[in-house]
Structure 1
Amino acid sequence: MRRALDLAARGDYRTRPNPKVGAVVARGDKVLAEGHHAVSGGPHAEAAALDALPPGAARGATLYVTLEPCGPFAGKRTPPCVERVLASELARVVVAQTDPHPEVGGRSLERLRAAGLRVDVGLLEDAARRLNGPYRKWIKVRRPYVTAKWAMSLDGRIATAEGDSQWISCGASRRAVHRLRGEVDAVLVGVGTALADDPLLTRRGVEGGTPLRVVLDSRARLPLDSRLVRTAREVPLLVATGSEADPERSAALRVAGAEVLSCGAGPRPDPLALLDVLAARDLRHALLEGGGEVAAAFLEADAIDRVLCFVGPRLIGGDGAPGPLRGRGFPRLDDAPRLRHLEARPSGDDVLLEGHLHVY
């Protein structure tokens, strides 16, 4: 199953909106074939693995798959995998997780058992769920999955007291962020970050999709000569404002090509209202890139699902040097959210910390 999860992780932006799935056909300890879902509309992982075998070669073998095989339902573009599995005369199917999709939801497992196959469920289930957080959250909650990302020094600063932040992270970490941008549907920043860094928020140097760029800007302060606004006609830009946004500034941003939308009834954009706006556009994974006020607002709204923290080998210091979270904070440690399934791995000269606040 670990090999199947590794295969599933090969899925990239081309699988959207489908989940990432890997499959291995084995007889005892011997791997006979393997496959993964590579592109939406293309073969699913089970079919890719089974199609790699000669006719009859899977008879009596075991299929390890990271998600319950799909069944028939309206609008489906590929043949149901459960039928392909049955036709292969396998003896056993090991599934990491059931499919939360209401059209599947255990029905395929029942079909396999009814046909006499041994079916086991739950092997490495947590890892399989985390791999498909955006898919599972969308099916269950109908809101975008939110990954919060920041880079900080070893002493927890995202910039110097004078505002210098380029670059705390190394080139390998920045390339990883561009790959991540290519896999999400929207990239979010606060207006403070937009003013300080004048970012483009585009994917560069890697293949991938083109995410919607979103600036949370209470009063529509985003400069008309910023790179975000100057490229708004080529790359979509949404400016999410509050109830006190300057009407003239909002109108000028619209003329320049940006979409301006009030999110929530308060003076600041409401994170959950913004996520509902994104959901209405079928945008299922949002990357929150800062800064500290916006990240804190999402955290306080319990709207962050996963955290990616790139830690660079620098010590910045300084009483005025900002950290990745601002806002009100949590007065008691018992109230502070605790990350689960924390992992640390190298990212060039940096260390990438990954943890989850919600697993769906």
Structure 2
Amino acid sequence: MKPPVLNVDVSTDTWTQLLSLRDGARSCNGTVRDDPAFLLYGPVVARNGAGHLLSQVGQSLDGRVATASGDARDVSGADGIRHLHRCRALVDAVVVGIGTVIADDPSLTVREVDGPDPQRVVIDPNGRLPASAKMLSDGHPPPIIVQGEDGPDRNGLDTIVVPREGRYLSAVAIRQELARRGMHNILLEGGGTTIAIFLGAACVDRLHVTISPLIIGAGPAGLRLPEVELLSDAMRPETHVYDIGSDVLFDCQLRRA
């Protein structure tokens, strides 16, 4: 059965109550619970023993996140960007791989909505973080670096050491170590390889894919997963669809709490 498309308009009241849940409130106004905005963002901010890991991808109609030359500036529309910043404001930590830092030099702060900045975490197994990276000198607390046991000295940066699994660091260990430090609700922003590693390790609870009405034609894909021969082997998550304005959002539930 085709899921209905829900229109999302985040009211001040709903957003205030979502932020209160983020800060530890145990309940909210009952009428807000029927708001499509609460249905979308409530699972992101819910506090439970297991925590919650959300991965977010913003892409074009043809599944691209940038041009072939690497221009990713306007792939998401204005409402897609606001959605991303809302997710940042509701989680304890935002995580990216070092490839995203090198390609985009992101701030990973909350600017498009009212709300707190999350702790920033960079997965950098081999010490590639540039000294010129914006998040090292933007006046906000510096990022936590996740690296392997053979990683380099980080010159005073807070570092988490986790084991490797083949070429990559263990996604399960990363999530466990972040939880041990009190970071239970996590936003995984990218890039494609990092998201694929966490998906492959069954560490992603929810996947948000925002699609902008844009056709790029060539360039990197937002999701880079192993090939399947048969469609019967493809992932078919329970999905809800939201009209958020400039973009359409697919909310995919991958693991049940």
Q: TM-score normalised to the size of structure 2?
A: 0.83
2:89 to 179, 182, 185: 182
Q: How much does 1:221 deviate?
A: 0.4
Over 3 Å counting, the alpha-carbon distance change for 1:303 and 1:330 in structure 2 is farther
Q: Could you tell me how far apart the structure 2 residues matched to 1:22 and 1:285 are?
A: 22
Q: Could you tell me how far apart the structure 2 residues matched to 1:14 and 1:134 are?
A: 10
2:104 to 197, 201, 206: 197
1:326 aligns with 2:224: yes
Map of 2:172 onto structure 1: 272
Map of 1:225 onto structure 2: 132
> What secondary structure, in the 3-state scheme, does the structure 2 residue paired with 1:182 have?
helix
Q: Could you tell me how far apart the structure 2 residues matched to 1:169 and 1:128 are?
A: 22
Map of 2:3 onto structure 1: none
Residues 295 and 325 in structure 1, CA contact (< 8 A), matched pair in contact too: yes
Q: How much does 1:193 deviate?
A: 0.7
Residues 13 and 184 in structure 1, CA contact (< 8 A), matched pair in contact too: no
Q: Could you tell me how far apart the structure 1 residues matched to 2:40 and 2:240 are?
A: 15
Q: How many percent of aligned residue pairs carry the same amino acid? A: 32
1:238 aligns with 2:149: no
Q: Could you tell me how far apart the structure 2 residues matched to 1:289 and 1:270 are?
A: 17
Partner AA of 1:131 in structure 2: G
Q: How much does 1:175 deviate?
A: 1.7
Residues 129 and 359 in structure 1, CA contact (< 8 A), matched pair in contact too: no
Q: How much does 1:358 deviate?
A: 1.8
RMSD over aligned CA atoms reads 2.7
Over 3 Å counting, the alpha-carbon distance change for 1:309 and 1:20 in structure 2 is farther
Structure with more contact order per residue of length (Cα contacts < 8 Å, sep ≥ 6) = 2
1:359 aligns with 2:256: yes
2:121 to 214, 229, 248: 214
Q: Could you tell me how far apart the structure 1 residues matched to 2:108 and 2:39 are?
A: 29
Structure 1 regions of 5+ residues with no counterpart?
Answer: 1-5, 25-35, 37-65, 67-95, 97-126
Map of 2:155 onto structure 1: 254
2:201 to 301, 304, 318: 301
Partner AA of 1:242 in structure 2: G
> What secondary structure, in the 3-state scheme, does the structure 2 residue paired with 1:215 have?
strand
Structure 2 regions of 5+ residues with no counterpart?
Answer: 1-10
Question: How many residue pairs are counted as aligned between the two chains?
Answer: 241
For residues 1-360 of structure 1, the aligned pairs below 5 Å read 11-16=17-22, 17-23=24-30, 131-132=42-43, 135=46, 138-139=48-49, 141=50, 144-231=51-138, 234-245=140-151, 247=152, 251=153, 253-255=154-156, 258-266=157-165, 267-318=167-218, 321-340=219-238, 342-360=239-257
